[in-house]
Chains A and B, each alone.
Chain A
Amino acid sequence: EVQLVESGGGLVKPGGSLRLSCAASGFTFSSYSMNWVRQAPGKGLEWVSSISISSSYIYYADSVKGRFTISRDNAKISLYLQMNSLRADDTAVYYCARSVYGDYVNDALDIWGQGTMVTVSS
Chain B
Amino acid sequence: EIVLTQSPGTLSLSPGERATLSCRASQSVSSSYLAWYQQKPGQAPRLLIHGASVRATGIPDRFSGSGSGTDFTLTISRLEPEDFAVYYCHQYGSSPQTFGQGTKLEIK
Contacts and interface: CB of A to CB of B under 8 A. Distances in A.
Contact of A44 (B96, B97, B99): B99
B8 to A, nearest CB: 15
Interface string A17-34: 000000000000000000
Given A95-B44, A108-B51, A109-B35, A44 B92 contact: no
A107 B34 CA distance: 9
Interface stretch (A7-15, A69-77, A84-92, A112-120): A112-120
13 contacts: A44-B101, A45-B37, A59-B96, A95-B45, A100-B50, A106-B33, A107-B33, A108-B50, A108-B92, A109-B37, A110-B47, A110-B50, A110-B57
Interface in B21-35: 33, 35
Interface string A90-108: 0000010000100000111
A6 B39 CA distance: 18
Interface size class of chain A, counting residues whose CB lies under 8 Å from the partner chain: 20 to 34
A107 B92 contact: yes
A62 interface: yes
A45 B96 CA distance: 13
A50 interface: yes
Main secondary structure on B side of the interface with A: loop
B44 A50 contact: no
Contacts of A44: 88, 99-102
Contacts of B96: 47, 59, 61-62
Given A106-B93, A108-B50, A47 B44 contact: no
7 nearest A-B residue pairs (beta carbon): A108-B50, A108-B35, A112-B44, A47-B97, A45-B99, A106-B92, A110-B47
Nearest to B96: A61
Interface string B30-69: 0001010101000011110011000011000000000000
A45 B4 CA distance: 12
Nearest to B99: A45
A109 B56 CA distance: 10
Contacts of A45: 37, 39, 45, 88, 90, 99, 102
